[in-house]
Amino acid sequence: MIYTLVVHSAPYQSASAGTALRFARAVLAAGHSIHRVFFYRDGVHNASALVSPPRDEQNIPAQWQQLAQEHDLDMVVCIAAAVRRGVLDAAEAKRYEKANHNLADGFELSGLGQLIEAGLQSDRVITFGGQR
């Protein structure tokens, strides 16, 4: 089975981002595949290279990076949501005349079209987090 995961929550906003990460590991361990992980709304904070949790807490963004590297996952961050929340790659930092960028390695900024395409290519789209 091919999955796409959509993460709406920041890494420490709720348990959603961590649950999505554990689900992704379980899916891959069961022999399924993940077409794409799409980070949307506050979920874009999972892609920030500046997240620095205390040493006794898990580093969810780093764990996403590690999982993506181990399994060659496509980790897409909604560009509109990211820019609005200050998560920028080098090109967007230059475009908005910012001195620095903070998109972590392994993540890519792109549009909602990537989410639509992922839904068409996947058997299941699973969403974690969201508005209350």
CB 9 within 8 Å of CB 127:
no
What would you measure as the largest C-alpha separation in the chain, in angstroms? 45
Q: What share of the chain is helix, strand, coil (3-state, %, to 5)?
A: 40, 20, 40
Domain ranges of the chain: 2-128
Contacts of 65 (CB under 8 A, 6+ apart): 75, 104, 105, 106, 107
Give the span between the Cα atoms of 97 and 92, in whole angstroms: 8
pTM of the model: 0.95
Q: Which pLDDT does position 93 carry in this prediction?
A: 97
Q: Which pLDDT does position 131 carry in this prediction?
A: 63
Residue 78 annotated in active site: yes
Name the CATH superfamily, with its identifier, for domain 2-128: DsrEFH-like (3.40.1260.10)
Q: Which pLDDT does position 124 carry in this prediction?
A: 98
User: How many Cα atoms within 13 Å fall on the side-chain side of residue 58?
Assistant: 15
Which segments in the chain show pLDDT lower than 50?
none
Q: Which pLDDT does position 130 carry in this prediction?
A: 74
78, 79, 83, 104: the active-site residue: 78
- ∠ CA 11-110-128, rounded to 5°: 35
The tens digit of pLDDT for each residue in 43-62 reads 999 999 999 999 999 999 99
